[in-house]
Structure 1
């Protein structure tokens, strides 16, 4: 999908990140990836590759023609992988272009709570997914939310404001949002899943 990385390109990219981090005293680039959730709920990289990342975001990018139960099981199976930190754009919707696939939002949020997985608000104005109507339930279940601009270029970072608006509409506060934390706190959240 989208000319994604293979295992060799992952090694190359991570070596470049290590080199930059070695030169920087007051800044750190985290090693992260958005990987695909395959049709059966497994991920498109093996665990030994996923283990090399600080953070793993798992998202569906294909095979949208699922029943509600199939889509729900697919997302939950992906979250069961101990390397998954964040479930990305859980319904795959593209506003004014593609309806999201039907899922049991409560079951997905319950699984995220049980497994310690964060759920993304994709702040791209074409997505705005997770929908604000499910944020109160996520908050009640103490599921952390990540606000991501889904930026594919520098200008895309401005889109985070739309995600903040969605979070506010869903009554989220700073403590409910993973990426309001320090880098060490975010890394501790990710490591907790891997124990």
Structure 2
């Protein structure tokens, strides 16, 4: 009951001036003010007020920690609401291309974040993929498969590591970021090589329209 009272009181200020958005069938409430975002998540009983300086600091921390310099321009911000609660999701432009950032927060603000990478010009709600991990599918022909593995080990041993998941499926961990992983896909006996998508909880995205128009 205490959490519910907190969540309801979160929206009393300027409730008539600015609309409160209900997300995921009322599982979350979102209100955009001029200088903050108020979010109440009923599934995990958390309410918080994310101020613009706090969000600017978050982007600065992401830039420093993940070596992404100067996100600006065409950025998008969302609240994702699902059975595990609410998350702030950001689709940002950076010097390394577009990135997808999922954040966890508590009553005091941002608690942690996870960065995924996106394809060029991929906008909108996002999950992102791991930058240096891939799934490699090989032929079911055992002899040809052994030839492919020997070739990869000999030519690319300093560029990535291979971890066997099954006889025909491997995880590729790229060590040398300058190496073009698509070269492997052209080797005879390789069926496919795919990016590893970061899995997030199922839920509903709500675009933060006011915040998306700002540049940090």
TM range (shorter): under 0.3
**Which structure is higher in RCO with an 8 Å CA cutoff and minimum separation 6?**
2
Q: Which has the higher helix share?
A: 1
TM-score (norm 2): 0.21
Structure of higher CA gyration radius: 2
Q: Which has the higher strand share?
A: 2
